[in-house]
């Protein structure tokens, strides 16, 4: 699973918390909703890193998934 797909999946699982995620990460709500809906084809590495770091802190789900891919 690609990092984009992983992050998008995690965002969709947290749909009710998008405003808090935006507040905590300083990403715009418009960008986050469009990205989560798959409407941004090239989201940019900086924004992806911000989300990845945030989601790892929130539950380390992405980190565990990456470890499985490496084995």
Q: What is the DSSP letter of 27?
A: -
Burial of 46 from C-beta contacts in 10 A (0-12 / 13-18 / 19+): exposed
Q: Is the pLDDT of residue 57 over 60?
A: yes
pLDDT average, residue stretch 10-25: 95
What is this structure's pTM?
0.78
Return the pLDDT at 60.
Answer: 55
Q: How far apart (Å, rounded) are the C-alpha atoms in residues 13 and 71?
A: 26
Q: In the prediction, which pLDDT does 15 show?
A: 94
The mean pLDDT of 10-38, rounded to a whole number, is 96
* pLDDT at residue 61 greater than cutoff 70: no
């Amino acid at each position: 699973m690609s990092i984009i797909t992983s992050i998008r999946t995690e965002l969709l699982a947290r749909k009710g918390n998008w405003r808090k995620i935006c507040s905590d990460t300083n990403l715009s709500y418009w960008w986050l909703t469009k990205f989560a809906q798959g409407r941004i084809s090239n989201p940019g590495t900086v924004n992806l890193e911000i989300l990845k770091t945030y989601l790892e802190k929130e539950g380390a789900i992405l980190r565990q998934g990456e470890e499985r891919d490496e084995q």
